[in-house]
Chain A
Amino acid sequence: KQEVTQIPAALSVPEGENLVLNCSFTDSAIYNLQWFRQDPGKGLTSLLLIQSSQREQTSGRLNASLDKSSGRSTLYIAASQPGDSATYLCAVVSSNTGKLIFGQGTTLQVKP
């Protein structure tokens, strides 16, 4: 059964720092891995999608990498800003079931 784990559960950094969020998954049979952002009480916004054949994707200050063989992904946020404060969720689409399976998320606080 696919399990997705995110470490750390919470992170607090001063503004301007570069930071890395980690995601691991137990089964390498995936279609893709997606990173989402969730603001309190709001919906999920898709940030980046990495297909299983890709190694990384970039969007602005965000860079996500995927190492399918080791079951790991990282989300790198450059020059963090207070507006980046949110919960970041990692999810994989299982190629066995087609389901989107989520990690528990990392709650990020960027202090001015």
Chain B
Amino acid sequence: EAQVTQNPRYLITVTGKKLTVTCSQNMNHEYMSWYRQDPGLGLRQIYYSMNVEVTDKGDVPEGYKVSRKEKRNFPLILESPSPNQTSLYFCASSLSIGGFRAFFGQGTRLTVV
């Protein structure tokens, strides 16, 4: 089954404790991206990657890192999480940038206390 898989689905952590949210897709997609969803602000792009070893900042990249060492994986790293990073996070992929359908993971609900 074609899918985007995120882990974990739920995470509660403390301020400053490094964490990684994993994202994996099995569709051989080139384009992958991370979003956060907040009430009243909608979905905002954090980082995106057009292919292996190619990543770029989205609209709200501060406090986040990403890497794309393999085509299928695109982990999101929070080096020193803060409470304002409490949010619902989504990973997405599509065949390429442009006119292709986007597939989303099930989301990771992160709470930073």
Contact = CB atoms under 8 A, between A and B. Distances in A.
Contacts of A102: 42-43
A98 B97 contact: yes
Contacts of B106: 42-43
B101 A104 contact: no
- Chain B's interface size range is 20 to 34
B33 A100 contact: yes
B109 A93 contact: no
From DSSP, what is the main secondary structure of chain A's interface residues?
strand
Contacts of B107: 41-43
Contact of A93 (B42, B43, B98, B103): B98
Nearest to B41: A104
B74 interface: no
B100 to A, nearest CB: 8
- Chain A's interface size range is 20 to 34
A31 B58 contact: no
Contacts of B109: 41
Interface in A94-109: 95, 98-100, 102-105
5 contacts: A91-B102, A99-B59, A100-B45, A100-B92, A105-B42
Interface of B: 33, 40, 42-43, 45, 48, 50, 58-59, 88, 90, 92, 97-107, 109
**Top 4 nearest A-B pairs by Cβ distance?**
A98-B97, A44-B104, A31-B99, A43-B106
